[in-house]
């Protein structure tokens, strides 16, 4: 609270730019209305006969400002923050008195203006005049009118949550309309944060279509009003969110017209109220239980005693008793026989050839799984494990083939090596010269055996002989020691290759402001969902760039406008230096978007989308 000085509250009523009256109420009330006995007489629709406009508050250096639905006000705090009554009136955050008037809190040092019909009523704090006003006897307060009971119509809208976190974006309708947050996995929103409790009920339904918010200090965010968000901190400062006791959550009871956002770390939760999907409203069908009609038992009364005074007795028939014993013996014998037979059965499961090949690894898979020894020719890296990229020297040459010139065999060997290496994705493994091209031996065997004549080796030692011309040695050692292909140690380590194949991080956010967003013709959820379509194209292009420039990173800013028909226009892409080659790809991807038509939209809606590109760690 600002330091208290000797300034006092001053009120001035203006109409058509002229000051009608000035008031210095001190500790007195200022009334407004259409009656003659008010301090400010105003005749306008929605203005009652009399209403207490400003009076001293319960706390020191505070005043209560009362407004009706037909009035509006804007308050500016001493620190410069502004609060407009009409923007927050429908959210249910203002207290009301017994007459149904809204009550706003005014602190010492605040200033503002109240719109009441044709009048503008300014209030603020000024230095007191030297002349002291005469005391005016207090006026009688109007009798309080009992508010008429309002019939509450059930609101069938349900709580809808749009969650954005490391798992992506998803939409849920919480069970029973209750939202919990905490570190436990069974919460509606699970956030592993040291400041949050294990479970906390953030939103839950209240009586009369109301909802209650229990806001923890660790949860940031705000309430969305006409396309802008009013932070919870501002509502707490204006005493609209209150604590029952210090350290407890801030309590707020609101209706289902409120929407907003909660932020905890990197998790954002957008809450609103909407009609639930059809599958949620569809009642679960109960299983149909068929009723079976049972016929009553029919007794043969001839088997009972014939005279009433004799003892009642059942008479068994020897023939039926013998038949029952025979059936029981046959059943027991059958069970024993079947048990003896099934005990000796052997179940054989026939396995198909495809399943056998899948379950049993081939010799080639076993060979590739083994770690080959390091080459003795000075390659400096293991060929299979770390995938070296050898720089082939051109100073030497292998011995030519016996059936064809050595130069022709070398050219054919280089072409074959290039084709094989390109097909497996490692085009930089060897270069062909007069001695042939060195490459990955396991993948060049087929090229060598086809007769292309890849000549290499160390002193003519052959690993695979050519079939018909080219090099007499075929493919020998990958690095030539005595004339042939000499390899340098320009290699790529396994850690570098692993880092190059990790996925880059591409994230984006979107913002837009305009009439289409303010009036609800378009919403940011649909816009973000459409932009997410081109995210994969941006990531693919970025990962392709990382192959030539692994350190490229930065933020690409995309600006475009959405027409009423849903098309994209005025596309501009701003890329920093290392990412400048992605401008064409990103611009082409954005131009393909279509957001669907909105008949109510009258002008283009500008949208800004920053894409953050981070290389693998």
- Among residues 83, 103, 91, 84, the alpha carbon closest in space to that of 211 is found at 91
Is 453 contained in some domain?
Answer: yes
Provide the edge-to-edge strand list for the sheet that holds 220-225: 168-172, 158-165, 267-274, 260-264, 220-225, 228-231
Same structural domain for residues 444 and 510? no
**pLDDT bracket for residue 179 (50, 70, 90):** very high
**Predicted confidence (pLDDT) per residue in 482-519, tens digit:** 333 333 334 444 454 444 445 688 899 888 888 888 87
Q: Output the pLDDT for position 350.
A: 61
* Extended strands (E) in 408-553: 432-433, 436-437, 505-508, 511-512
Q: Is 608 left (phi over 0), alpha (psi -120 to 50) or beta?
A: beta
d(CA 3, CA 359): 82
Task: Give yes or no: residues 104 and 182 share one domain.
Answer: no
Say whether both 443 and 398 belong to one domain.
Answer: yes
Other Cβ atoms less than 10 A from the Cβ of 113: the count is: 16
Residue 309 lies in a domain: no
Same domain, 380 and 481: yes
8 Å CB contact between 222 and 260: yes
In a domain, 390, yes or no: yes
> What total number of domains does the chain contain?
4
Question: Looking at the domain assignment, is residue 320 inside a domain?
Answer: no
pLDDT class of 120 with cuts at 50, 70, 90: very high
Alpha helices per DSSP H over 127-193: none
Q: How many residues belong to the chain?
A: 617
The residue among 231, 265, 280 that closes a domain is: 280
More confident residue, 296 or 388: 296
Which tokens hold the place of 489? 């140690």
The answer to whether position 107 is within a domain reads yes
How far is CA 238 from each of CA 15, 105, 110, rounded to the nearest angstrom? 29, 7, 11
For residues 324 and 313, give the distance between their C-alpha atoms in angstroms, rounded to a whole number.
Answer: 21
Give domain status of residue 26, yes or no.
yes
The answer to whether residues 458 and 509 belong to one domain is no
> Do residue 170 and residue 268 come from a single domain?
yes
Domain assignment present for 418? yes
DSSP 8-state code for residue 89: G
pLDDT per residue as tens digits for the range 251-276: 988 888 888 999 988 889 999 998 88
Q: What whole-number distance in Å separates Cα of residue 43 and Cα of residue 32?
A: 10
Both 472 and 515 in one domain: the answer is no
Note whether 512 and 440 are same-domain residues: no
Give the tokens for residue 274: 């909407």
Tokens of 422: 């390109």
Boundary of a domain, candidates 467, 496, 525: 496
Backbone angles phi and psi of 117, in degrees to 5: 60, -130
564: pLDDT strictly greater than 60: yes
- Distance between CA 492 and CA 157 in Å, rounded? 60
Encode pLDDT of 419-455 as tens digits: 444 444 333 333 333 334 434 444 444 444 444 333 3
User: Is 202's pLDDT higher than 60?
Assistant: yes
**92 and 163 fall within a common domain:** no
Domain of residue 584, CATH code: 3.30.1150
Shared-domain flag, residues 492 and 506: no
Nearest to 261 by CA among 293, 303, 232, 294: 232
165, β-bridge pairs: 168
Residues 449 and 480 in one domain: yes
**Residue 574 is encoded by which pair of tokens?**
């701003």
Which of residues 229, 253, 280 is at a domain's end?
280
**Residue 229: which CATH number?**
2.60.200.20
**393 and 462 both lie in a single domain:** yes
**138, part of any domain:** no
| Dihedral over Cα of 278, 279, 283, 288: its sign | positive
Structure tokens at 280: 């949620």
**Could you tell me which of 15, 25, 50 has the C-alpha nearest to residue 35?**
50
**Please, where are the H alpha helices in 13-56?**
none
Q: What is the domain extent for residue 575?
A: 502-614
Helix (H, G, I), strand (E, B) or coil at 251: strand
Q: 1 is written with which tokens?
A: 């609270």
Greater confidence, 342 or 253? Answer: 253
In the DSSP assignment, the letter for residue 451 is: I
User: CB-based contacts of 373: which residues, under 8 Å, 6+ apart?
Assistant: 382
What token pair was written down for 162? Answer: 């749009």
């Amino acid at each position: 609270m600002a330091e208290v000085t000797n300034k006092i509250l001053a009120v001035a009523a203006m109409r058509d730019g002229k000051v009608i009256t000035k008031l210095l109420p001190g500790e007195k009330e200022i009334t407004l209305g259409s009656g003659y006995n008010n301090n400010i007489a105003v005749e306008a629709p929605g203005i009652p006969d009399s209403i207490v406009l400003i009076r001293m508050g319960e706390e020191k250096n505070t005043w209560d400002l009362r407004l009706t639905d037909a009035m509006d006000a804007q308050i500016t705090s001493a620190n410069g923050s502004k609060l407009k009554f009409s923007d927050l009136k429908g959210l249910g955050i203002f207290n009301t008195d017994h007459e149904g008037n809204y009550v706003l809190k005014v602190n010492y040092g605040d200033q503002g203006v109240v719109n009441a019909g044709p009048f503008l009523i300014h209030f603020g704090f000024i230095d007191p005049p030297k002349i002291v006003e005469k005391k005016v006897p207090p006026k009688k307060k109007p009798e309080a009118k009992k508010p008429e009971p309002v019939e509450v119509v059930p609101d069938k809208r349900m709580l809808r949550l749009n969650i954005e976190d490391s798992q992506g974006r998803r939409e849920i309708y919480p069970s029973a309309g209750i939202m919990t947050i905490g570190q436990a996995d069974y919460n509606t929103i699970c956030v592993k944060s040291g400041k949050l409790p294990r479970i906390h009920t953030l939103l839950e339904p209240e009586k009369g279509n109301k909802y209650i918010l229990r806001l923890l200090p660790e949860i940031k965010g705000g309430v969305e009003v006409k396309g802008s968000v009013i932070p919870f901190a501002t509502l707490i400062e204006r005493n609209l969110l209150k604590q029952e006791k210090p350290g407890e959550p801030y309590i707020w009871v609101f209706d289902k017209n409120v929407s907003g956002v909660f932020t905890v770390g990197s998790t954002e939760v957008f809450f609103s109220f909407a009609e639930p999907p059809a599958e949620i409203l569809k009642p679960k069908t109960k299983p149909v239980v068929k009723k079976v009609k049972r016929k009553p038992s029919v007794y043969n009364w001839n088997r009972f005693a014939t005279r009433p005074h004799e003892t009642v007795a059942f008479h068994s028939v020897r023939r039926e008793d013998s038949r029952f014993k025979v059936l029981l013996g046959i059943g027991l014998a059958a069970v024993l026989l079947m048990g003896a037979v099934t005990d000796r059965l052997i179940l054989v499961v026939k396995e198909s050839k495809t399943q056998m090949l899948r379950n049993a690894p081939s010799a080639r898979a076993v060979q590739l799984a083994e770690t080959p020894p390091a080459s003795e020719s000075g390659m400096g890296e293991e060929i299979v494990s770390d995938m070296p990229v050898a720089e082939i020297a051109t100073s030497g040459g292998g011995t030519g083939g016996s059936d064809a010139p050595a130069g022709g065999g070398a050219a054919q060997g280089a072409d074959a090596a290039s084709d094989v290496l390109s097909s497996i994705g490692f085009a930089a493994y060897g270069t062909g010269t007069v001695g042939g091209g060195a490459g990955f031996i396991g993948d060049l065997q087929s090229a060598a055996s086809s007769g292309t004549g890849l000549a290499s080796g160390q002193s003519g030692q052959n690993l695979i002989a050519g079939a018909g011309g080219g090099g007499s040695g075929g493919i020998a050692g990958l690095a030539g020691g005595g004339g042939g292909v000499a390899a340098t140690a320009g290699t790529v380590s396994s850690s570098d290759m692993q880092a190059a194949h990790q996925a880059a991080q591409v994230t984006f956010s979107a913002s837009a402001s305009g009439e289409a967003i303010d009036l609800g013709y378009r919403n940011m959820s649909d816009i973000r969902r459409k932009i997410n379509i081109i995210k994969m194209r941006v990531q693919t292009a970025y990962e392709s760039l990382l192959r030539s420039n692994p350190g490229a990173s930065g933020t690409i800013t995309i600006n475009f406008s959405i027409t009423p028909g849903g098309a994209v226009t005025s596309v501009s892409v701003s890329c920093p230096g290392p990412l400048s080659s992605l401008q064409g790809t990103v611009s082409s991807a954005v131009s393909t978007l279509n957001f669907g038509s909105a008949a109510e939209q009258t002008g283009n809606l500008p949208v800004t989308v920053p894409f953050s590109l981070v290389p693998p760690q």
